[in-house]
A and B are shown apart, each in its own frame.
Chain A
């Protein structure tokens, strides 16, 4: 088991830069999520950590050793491929034994370990089957077995649930997480599904267009996004932005949107021009007395809660409120916000402005 440190990692394919100077740390034993939209460079990053792709520049340290220029076979890392990549000309037992055979492990030890791992993953009955006829879930388990059997320093999983049926996904996600809890192995998990990342991850790094947007524990990222991209990418529905032109100064604890003065966490940074007030839907309240006005344009019933969409002078706002409260399309009402949860963004740069509430999160992401 080992810590993985990534410093200024860059990858160019010809004139195209797929990864633009990533820096983050995967703690020893962490379940670490590499999250971002398709094409943002997640797989490329994972492949560089595994040694399947050599970085153009930057450092990769595994367990304190710089392995950036070392071939995959010398890194002691296991990987589960998106399409599992089980060797089609070998049966399940041979597939799982294969990484042990390369180490020159004696045959009886190999046999014992394979049986042991197969039992852990509940695939002992499949050992003598070919891999061709296996179901998606069983293939996944065989791929996992092949990865864990040699107890590597770390695991790389590239969208491991992507190839599974929706109904089976949740089950496999739980299985993966519980397997990790038992083994405590450092795991880097690639996904484009923000919900999956927040449910399963100890830590998340969010990438966009080859750039690391933010890195930290899920709750910090959700509550205190460092960029508008993170604010919109996490959460469903995503964070609302109330756009306005204004001035923010160091020490201020309120902003003025039109007529309304809205309390915000005390600011630690000056900014002016196009700004956005970020507020999560669950922190928007319908309050007839509030000065910020909005007209209800839709309500989506979700059982215990409902998502109400309102048109305001500063853009559309979605509120998550108890379904007990009756709202009708066309109603006009006031909107109030939990002051302690608000973030301000500079629209030109997309960055969050530093405040008393988010400064510790921003400093380390």
Chain B
């Protein structure tokens, strides 16, 4: 081995790479850190100048995010019994009374249902069709595959108006089912293509061994192919979830109440009453980030291998 081996990096190169990675991480994570810290600030702290790095943390932003409040005068407050719950106390301190929950919780739940629902559906349909494309003699296979890919060649929003009209006449506007269907339709082509690549990489011998061992084609698929496609399924699921979770344009257009997701809802917080409640907005953004982060962490074991798109062989 010479000093200039292709595989082993020199100490110096490792240092440089390390520093670059740290710099990049700081650059991308700093705004996130700022959002998260703002979500724990009080209203005045959040807009103080110069910005406060050290501050007294409070859950005021989160309480404001999840509740609807009414301003009460000092005399009114005096007539009421002192609050018992911690969130009531936080509102009380600002001269506010909590009159009920806000709509954020429900919108967030909508995002979870629609995001994970469409991801699940995309993966189930995507895996099955990718398997069929990979293993069976499908008539017009290449044409079909190209057609599936071509649905992604324009931005989906181009067809917003036809979809809007279709959804209205089918009664799918502002329903969970409608949004799940829409996001699945958009994600499916990506899912089929990604998963087909992963399934192509799995030698047929394994399923054939299972067929010989007395299992049906479907059992072989579930017990032998799926475990080996886990990497591909995990990374495809993350791509699908990220799209469905962050999608804004269709959500604005097609949902308004019942099935409204978090992305179109969060901006509405900005325009409530006088002045912008930055801690509440930051709290919403922080919570909004969490599911994708948690999902990614749960699947990270499979992810590193998956992101290379099967380039790394066993």
Contacts and interface: CB of A to CB of B under 8 A. Distances in A.
Contacts of B224: 87
Query: Which of B209, B211, B219, B227 gathers the greatest number of chain A CB atoms within 10 Å?
Result: B209
A88 B211 contact: no
Contacts of A87: 206, 209-210, 224
Interface string A43-69: 000000011100000000000000000
A73 interface: yes
A50 B203 contact: no
Contacts of B248: none
Nearest to B209: A85
A52 B208 contact: yes
Interface centre among A71, A89, A103, A146 (most CB of B within 10 A): A89
Contacts of A77: 212
A103 B214 contact: yes
Contact of A99 (B208, B213, B217): B213
A78 interface: yes
B214 A88 contact: no
Interface in B197-245: 203, 205-206, 208-217, 219, 224, 227-228
B216 A73 contact: yes
B11 interface: no
Contact of A81 (B205, B217, B219): B205
B314 A73 contact: no
Most chain B CB atoms below 10 A, which of A52, A132, A150:
A52
A304 interface: no
A72 B205 contact: no
A74 to B, nearest CB: 8
A112 interface: no
Contacts of A78: 212-213
A102 interface: yes
B209 A79 contact: yes
Nearest to A103: B214
Contacts of A51: 211-212
Q: Is the interface of A mostly helix, strand, loop or mixed?
A: loop
B213 A81 contact: no
Nearest to A143: B209
A72 B214 CA distance: 7
B212 A89 contact: no
A180 to B, nearest CB: 19
Majority secondary structure, B binding face:
helix
B203 A89 contact: no
Given A85-B205, A87-B224, A52 B213 contact: no
A105 to B, nearest CB: 11
Nearest to A82: B205
Contacts of B208: 52, 72, 79, 81, 85
B228 A81 contact: no
B237 to A, nearest CB: 19
Contact of A102 (B214, B217, B228, B314): B214
Given A83-B203, A87-B206, A73 B228 contact: no
A89 B209 contact: no
A87 B215 CA distance: 14
A324 B279 CA distance: 103
Contacts of A76: 214
Contacts of B216: 71, 73
A79 B212 contact: yes
Contact of A73 (B203, B211, B227): B211
Residue in A78, A81, A103 whose Cβ sees the most chain B Cβ within 10 Å? A81
A183 to B, nearest CB: 18
A88 B225 CA distance: 11
Given A89-B227, A89-B228, A83 B205 contact: yes
Nearest to B224: A87
A103 B210 CA distance: 12
Contacts of A71: 211, 216-217
Given A83-B203, A88-B314, A72 B212 contact: yes
A81 B208 CA distance: 9
Contacts of A83: 203, 205
Interface string A178-219: 000000000000000000000000000000000000000000
Contacts of B227: 89
A102 B210 CA distance: 9
Contacts of A132: 314
A144 to B, nearest CB: 13
B289 to A, nearest CB: 33
Contact of A52 (B212, B215, B228): B212
A73 B214 contact: yes
A98 interface: yes
B141 to A, nearest CB: 14
A146 B205 contact: no
B212 A88 contact: no
B206 A50 contact: no
B210 to A, nearest CB: 7
Nearest to B220: A73
Contacts of B211: 51-52, 71-73
A71 B214 CA distance: 9
Contacts of A99: 212-214
A85 B214 contact: no
A363 B143 CA distance: 52
A150 B205 CA distance: 19
B307 to A, nearest CB: 20
B209 A81 contact: yes
29 contacts: A50-B212, A51-B211, A51-B212, A52-B208, A52-B211, A72-B212, A73-B213, A73-B214, A77-B212, A79-B208, A81-B205, A81-B208, A81-B209, A85-B205, A85-B206, A85-B208, A85-B209, A87-B206, A87-B209, A87-B210, A89-B227, A89-B228, A98-B210, A99-B212, A99-B213, A146-B209, A146-B213, A150-B213, A150-B214
- In order of increasing CB-CB distance, the 3 nearest A-B pairs are A85-B205, A102-B214, A99-B213
